[in-house]
């Protein structure tokens, strides 16, 4: 794997690991799934395939961020708006 891609992969792994701390099913669950996904593709040598996998990981980051924002939004809405209003 090219050194530039290796750095990107490590950065992606660290970002996902950081975001996984607040995963609804737990950090340990997320960490084990993340590790399995990265180990499954550890022997990939094709730079184009690696770039596709990195893009997929970045998509997962965006989905996790959206999940967390939605959870925060729901919590704030629940605090400040009562359910009995029409």
- pLDDT tens sequence across 35-61: 999 999 988 888 999 999 999 999 999
**Whether the predicted pLDDT of 14 surpasses 90:** yes
- When pLDDT is averaged across residues 64-73 and rounded to a whole number, the result is 89
Contacts of 47 (CB under 8 A, 6+ apart): 1, 2, 5
**Whether the predicted pLDDT of 12 surpasses 80:** yes
- pLDDT at position 74 is 84
Residue 44: closest CA among 33, 32, 56? 56
What percent of the chain shows pLDDT beyond 70? 91
């Amino acid at each position: 794997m090219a050194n530039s891609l290796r750095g990107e992969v490590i950065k992606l792994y660290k970002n996902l690991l950081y975001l996984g701390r607040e995963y609804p099913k737990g950090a340990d669950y997320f960490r084990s799934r993340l590790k399995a996904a990265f180990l499954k593709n550890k022997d990939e040598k094709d730079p184009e395939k690696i770039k596709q996998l990195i893009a997929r990981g970045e998509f997962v980051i965006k989905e996790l961020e959206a999940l967390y924002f939605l959870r925060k939004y729901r919590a704030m809405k629940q605090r400040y708006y009562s359910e009995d209003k029409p």
